Amino acid sequence: DSSGEGELLTPAEVREALRQATNDGAEPLEVLHMDACLMGLLEQAYQVSPYVGYLIASENLAWSVFPYADYARGVGTATSPDVLASNIVLSYSTRLSNAEGYPHTIAALDLGGVPTATAAVDDLATALIAALPTAQDGIGQAWMATQHFDSRDYYAIDEQDEYLDLVDLAGHLADAVTDTTVVSAAVAVQRAVADHLVLKERHLSGEAVIGGTTHQWTLNGAHGVALYFPPDNNVWGYGEYLAHTFRFTEHTAWGEFLLVYLGEATQDWDDLPKPGRPPVPEVEGHRVFLPVVLR
């Protein structure tokens, strides 16, 4: 931010940094907390999975509570990575739930389950492609009914948001599409995520007062991990996604499904409105963290 040049870390750069830091995955990080907005994507989990054991991230916007001291107090010599990841989720959620019930999402993902979940989504994408165009209306109905997350026009979750909860999407596809292969594949996605990927998940719907304005976030359909599924092909970032922003689209048919279902990216997509940097909502009050060295 301070450079004034729009500097950022791309998914490819994050992956490369983790590759180098972990000696090509020979010494993986046990827990990675992406303490930022909208990082709870299957695409993100896939991107870092060779180098990380557990990923903690939020499907929706994240709050700037930063209870790192609480996290650290829960670490002992016998603390396992899965327990640490679960405790961080619970600590973050408890802090926000007790602070006037701030709406939020947070989850710990067991990245050992990424191959199973990814294969299930790949099968679902292949089944959806085969079911088109007959399944077009059913897919649209499922998309509308699925839990969205606040990925643009921030502080308002609506049909313009392109991050959808994966389990909720699969459930609505199973309900709205009559093709039996799609139904079976959708149910398999739900099982793969619940049984193999999501270790611990917490979410809370509610109102938040931000800048004097009250915002309502309904998050009842959150299950821990989201997937990119924009409303149409006329949104910023769609073309870049299809060009493999994430390795996920290189190794699954999900990008191919989007291309068949939504069509090619708008040629002038670079000129479309950018969603901008997600805000980091602040809980009321201020905290000052001072470095302390204990010897």
Comparing 60-64, 180-184, 248-252, the range with the smallest average pLDDT is: 60-64
Q: What percent of the chain has pLDDT over 70?
A: 93
pLDDT score for 241? 94
pLDDT confidence tier of residue 295, bands split at 50, 70 and 90: low
pLDDT score for 7? 75
Cis upstream peptide for 133 (omega within 30°): yes
Name the more confident of 41 and 155.
41
Structure pTM? 0.92
Q: DSSP per residue over 119-147, as a string?
A: HHHHHHHHHHHHHTTTTHHHHHHHHHHSP
Burial class of residue 291, CB neighbours in 10 A (0-12, 13-18, 19+):
exposed
Q: Which two tokens stand for residue 221?
A: 């359909």
Q: Which two tokens stand for residue 11?
A: 């998914």
Task: Give the number of other CB atoms < 10 A from CB of residue 183.
Answer: 18
Name the more confident of 280 and 65.
65
pLDDT digits (tens, 9 = 90+) for 188-231: 999 999 999 999 999 999 988 777 788 889 999 999 999 999 99
Comparing 5-9, 118-122, 240-244, the range with the smallest average pLDDT is: 5-9
pLDDT score for 168? 98
pLDDT digits (tens, 9 = 90+) for 234-248: 988 899 999 999 999
pLDDT confidence tier of residue 294, bands split at 50, 70 and 90: low
Q: What percent of the chain has pLDDT over 90?
A: 71
pLDDT digits (tens, 9 = 90+) for 41-55: 999 999 999 999 999
Q: What is the mean pLDDT of residues 236-261?
A: 95
Please name the residues in contact with 79: beta carbons below 8 A apart, sequence gap of 6 or more.
none
